[in-house]
């Protein structure tokens, strides 16, 4: 099973729009995916689901993670890295069975001009520790506010080309 993780809990985020775009395009390729939106995390996750505790809310997410063998993470840039809520989510998941020896694809987005290069590298380090095998082709989509049209689809020729190339490789990975 493939799970697409929208890597922020921010309301109305471009991250969620990009995650839904990938979900739609992978469905067109005949793949069924699940969308894990970090907006759905328990609001008290720090006290309810860390250090061996488990809430009913988070258990549903944990079950999805356990069933997943491929993850596609869409990760926005927050202060030159990735969102702390994404790290909190990873920390709340059971180790090692949540991510160990599974596969991942990384997509960085930013409103700036570098597409979250540093944040993707930082997250790649977390993945290495978890033994989560990251596909070498990582995308960095800069100026995200100019990349999506009114239908929340990518429309620029070069972005479409690279996203499609990444999805094709992810399907084969």
Ordered structural domains, the chain, with CATH? 2-172 (3.40.50.360)
Residues 6+ apart with CB under 8 A from 15: 6, 7, 8, 74, 75, 76, 109
* Max CA separation in the chain (angstroms): 47
**Residue keyed to tokens 């990873």:** 90
Omega of the bond prior to 85 within 30 degrees of 0, cis? no
pLDDT band (50, 70, 90) for residue 52: confident
- Give the closest residue to 59 by CA, choosing from 69, 51, 49: 49
> Would strands 103-109 and 139-141 be described as parallel, antiparallel, or unpaired?
parallel
Spatial distance between the Cα atoms of 167 and 165, rounded to a whole number of angstroms: 5
> What are φ and ψ of residue 117, in 5° steps?
-60, -50
- In angstroms, rounded to a whole number, what is the distance separating the alpha carbons of residues 150 and 23? 18
Q: What percent of the chain has pLDDT over 70?
A: 100
Q: pLDDT tens digits, residue range 69-128?
A: 999 999 999 999 999 999 999 999 999 999 999 999 999 999 999 999 999 999 999 999
């Amino acid at each position: 099973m493939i799970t697409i993780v929208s890597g922020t809990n921010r309301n109305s985020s471009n991250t969620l729009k990009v995650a839904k775009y990938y979900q739609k395009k992978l469905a067109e390729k005949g793949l069924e995916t699940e969308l894990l939106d970090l907006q759905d995390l328990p609001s008290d996750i720090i006290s309810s689901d860390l250090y061996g505790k488990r809430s009913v809310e988070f258990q549903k997410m944990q079950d999805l993670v356990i069933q997943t063998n491929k993850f596609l993470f869409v990760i926005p840039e927050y202060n030159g890295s990735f969102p702390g809520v994404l790290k909190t989510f990873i920390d709340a998941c059971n180790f090692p069975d949540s991510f160990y020896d599974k596969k991942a694809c990384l997509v960085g987005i930013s409103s700036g001009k570098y597409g979250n290069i540093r944040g993707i590298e930082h997250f790649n380090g977390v993945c290495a520790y978890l033994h989560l095998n990251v596909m070498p082709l990582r995308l960095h989509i800069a100026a995200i506010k100019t990349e999506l049209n009114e239908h929340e689809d990518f429309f620029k020729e070069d972005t479409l080309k690279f996203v499609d190339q990444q999805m094709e490789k992810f399907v084969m990975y």
